[in-house]
Each structure stands twice: as C-alpha cells, then as structure tokens.
C-alpha cells in the first residue's frame, strides 16, 4: 500500500524559490537547507563566484541583456541538482521557458511581499542591485512587483514574506510539503549515507520528508496539478 502511494507521488529533485528581489529567498533558502541537510544554491552568488565579480560589477560590465543570459545559464546548470534548495535571483522576472524547465525537476515556491517591505530590504544594499535605479527605488520595486504578480497562480505555492520571519516561513513551506504529493529523488546509484547532520540520511526510507509524511499522514490529500495556494 505504501509503495502504491509512493508511486502516485510526483517525482522531484529539489525546491526552487522564485520571486522579486527583497522577498527573502536567500534567508529562507538557507534556513530550509539547514533544516533538511540539503545544499543551498543562490544563483546570484553562484554567478559572482564563477565570474569573480560582484553582481553590480557584472551588470556594469556586461549590460542587462548579457547579465540575464549569464543568469539563465547558471539556472540551467543548477536546476538538475538533487536535494538542493535553489534561490533564483530576482533581478529579472522569469521567462516562461525557464519557469517550465525549473518546474521539470523542482517544486516551485513563489515568495512575495508588499512593496513597502521590499523597498526597505532593497534600500539596505544601496548600489548592489544592477537592475535597480536607486534614485527611483519605489517606482522600480512597484514595477517589479507587478511583473511578478502573474506567477502566483503558476507556482506550486505562494508565500507572503511581508511580516513573517525566515523561521516561520521555512515552517510554512515544510507544512505545505507535508501535504503536497511530491517525492524527492536521490541521484541514481547514490548510497544511503549519514551526512554531517546527525540522524539524517539521503536514503528514501529514512529521509526527513518520509518521516514528516508518516507523522502528518492524516493531513496529506491526494491531488494532482497545482497543489498549492497562498500560505
């Protein structure tokens, strides 16, 4: 019976956090990765390390179009990772094709916040966002927020980060995963082994998601298609 339920679950490899800059993707992503014993990838930081320049320097050197292409290449590489929390940079709104490729292997979670909160967060990092005109910060953020709005119904779930801490947000996402019909796969041929985080194994039988599912079995509902909603 348990094997039949497992076979009905949608197979995924990772969790992808999308949304505008300033919605807390990096903070929440690190929290989730730490709690799950997974790796954390911030595509902006990945690109900076690879190119040896800050995002602001890359923007000034490459220009907006080339920067978007460079970010897309990074996303294309990391989207296949197993047991990873992937925070996608929010400098540009996702294109349709990239969204579908992310969703092929990942559970896509949209983080969003009210405009005033994003302005507060982005203003703390003056000059570090290459696509923002800091002389018109409010207008830029409002435009970006409107552009991201259309993705609310496309993501597997949406999470409002305006008033909640990263700890509470990570908990809300985990609660969603308890109920959602997803199964996270390991790499083919990967041995079950203990990580440095005591008590956690990548093996299917002992994965934390399976433990949570057993504890919250009564909450899980069989469903198909988009299973999320606003958390």
Q: Is 146 annotated as a binding residue?
A: yes
- Residue 157: partners with Cβ closer than 8 Å, 6 or more residues away: 109, 110, 173, 176, 180, 227, 228, 229, 230, 231
Q: Is 27 annotated as a binding residue?
A: yes
Name the residue with tokens 């990096």.
Answer: 26
Q: Is 117 annotated as a binding residue?
A: no
Q: Is 89 annotated as a binding residue?
A: no
Q: Is 44 annotated as a binding residue?
A: yes
Q: In what order do the strands lie in the sheet with 106-112?
A: 39-42, 84-87, 14-18, 106-112, 157-160
Q: Is 24 annotated as a binding residue?
A: yes
Query: Which two tokens mark 124?
Result: 């703390």
Kindly compute the dihedral angle of the four CA atoms of residues 186, 79, 17, 143, in this order, to the nearest 10 degrees.
-170
Contact 25, 173 (CB under 8 A): no
Q: Is 115 annotated as a binding residue?
A: no
Feature table: binding site for ATP: 22-27, 129, 164
Feature table: binding site: 22-27, 44, 68, 90, 129, 146, 164
Feature table: binding site for substrate: 44, 68, 90, 146
Feature table: binding site for Mg(2+): 26
């Amino acid at each position: 019976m348990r094997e039949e339920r497992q076979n009905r679950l949608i197979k995924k490899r990772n969790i992808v956090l999308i949304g505008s800059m300033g919605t807390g993707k990096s903070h929440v992503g690190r929290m989730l990765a730490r709690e799950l014993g997974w790796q954390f990838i911030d595509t902006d930081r990945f690109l900076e390390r690879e190119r040896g320049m800050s995002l602001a320097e890359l923007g000034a050197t490459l220009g907006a179009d080339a920067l978007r292409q460079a970010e897309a290449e990074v996303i294309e590489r990391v989207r296949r990772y197993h047991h990873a929390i992937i925070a996608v940079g929010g400098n540009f709104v996702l294109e349709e094709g990239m969204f579908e490729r992310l969703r092929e292997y990942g559970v896509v979670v949209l983080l969003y916040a009210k405009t005033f909160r994003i302005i507060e967060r982005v203003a703390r990092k003056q000059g570090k966002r290459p696509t923002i005109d800091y002389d018109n910060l409010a207008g830029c953020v409002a435009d970006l927020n409107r552009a991201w709005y259309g993705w609310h119904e496309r993501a597997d779930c949406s999470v409002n980060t305006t008033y909640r801490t990263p700890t509470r947000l990570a908990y809300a996402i985990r609660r969603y995963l308890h109920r959602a019909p997803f199964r996270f796969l390991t790499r083919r041929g990967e041995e079950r082994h203990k990580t440095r985080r005591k008590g956690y194994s990548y093996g299917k039988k002992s994965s934390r998601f399976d433990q949570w599912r057993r504890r919250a079995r009564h909450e899980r509902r069989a469903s198909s298609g988009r299973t999320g909603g606003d958390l």
